[in-house]
């Protein structure tokens, strides 16, 4: 495993691997999201309490999962960059940050749209809502720190420290419905035992979750490839200026 990690830390090898994986990830994204949306809109029942508004769940819940998964990816890449000095880890962290922030923003917007008919308000300082908003601000802070210094290495290091410190918020989001009395219902898919959700609703929810994951992988590979090319261009310019 360490050998594979060291090999992938080489930007040139990663670039070649990403080029091979990208079409497959993109195809998986289209197939999973297409089938997930079909089942979510046309083949899943309306909820007996929430009616048709329950269909927001198929966008809201996977975006929340990917917001947390994106930050976990960001924190792991940041730790790898700080501890093992992998040349690619900072680029992965920098690339993952805006993608995760986008999923988190989508989660907050759809949660607000869902909350209005269910709770009678666009926003409530619910434990999970508040911790998810903090996650969004952590993403913004990470992106700001990365570009706040003239020295790119200093910016990457400061952003990595923030990412690692902020990772404590991820389990808080996950267990907030168990630790506090919140408006959100307890976990119904990832709980121990059988999921407390109708199979007709579970299928599109899982398809959308896998589709979002494939989309995250596709965007991450694209952005990391772009960052590698940007580094090469900057290096060539420096050589040209020095010459």
Which residues, including other chains, have CB under 8 Å from residue 233's CB and lie 6 or more apart?
A: none
pLDDT in tens, 13-35: 889 999 999 999 999 999 999 99
CATH level 3 topology of 21-189+197-242: 1.20.120
3 vs 145, higher pLDDT: 145
Q: Give yes or no for residue 113 having a pLDDT over 60.
A: yes
Question: Where exactly are the structural domains of the chain?
Answer: 21-189+197-242
**Lowest-pLDDT range of 53-62, 97-106, 188-197:** 188-197
pTM for the full predicted model: 0.88
- Give the pair of three-digit tokens for residue 30: 């289209």
Task: For the chain, report the end-to-end CA distance as a whole number of angstroms.
Answer: 41
pLDDT value of residue 192:
43
Average pLDDT over residues 119-146: 89
Residue 51 forms beta bridges with which residues? 47
- Mean pLDDT for the chain? 86
């Amino acid at each position: 495993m360490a050998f594979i990690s060291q090999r992938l830390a080489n930007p040139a090898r990663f670039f070649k691997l990403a080029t091979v994986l990208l079409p497959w990830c993109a195809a998986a994204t289209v197939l999973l999201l297409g089938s997930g949306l079909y089942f979510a809109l046309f083949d899943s029942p309306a909820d007996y309490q929430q009616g048709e508004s329950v269909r927001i769940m198929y966008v809201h819940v996977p975006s929340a999962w990917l917001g947390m998964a994106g930050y976990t990816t960001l924190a792991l890449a940041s730790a790898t960059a700080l501890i093992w000095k992998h040349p690619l880890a900072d680029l992965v962290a920098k690339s993952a940050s805006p993608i995760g922030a986008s999923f988190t923003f989508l989660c907050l917007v759809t949660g607000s749209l869902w909350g209005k008919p269910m709770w009678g308000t666009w926003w409530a300082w619910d434990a999970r809502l508040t911790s998810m908003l903090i996650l969004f601000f952590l993403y913004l802070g990470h992106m700001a720190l990365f570009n706040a210094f003239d020295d790119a290495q200093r910016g990457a290091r400061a952003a990595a420290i923030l990412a690692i410190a902020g990772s404590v918020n991820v389990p808080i989001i996950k267990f907030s419905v168990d630790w506090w009395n919140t408006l959100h219902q307890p976990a119904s898919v990832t709980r121990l035992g059988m999921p407390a959700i109708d199979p007709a609703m579970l299928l599109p929810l899982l398809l959308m979750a896998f589709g979002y994951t494939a989309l995250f992988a596709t965007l991450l590979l694209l952005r990391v490839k772009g960052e590698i090319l940007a580094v090469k261009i900057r290096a060539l310019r420096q050589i040209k200026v020095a010459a």
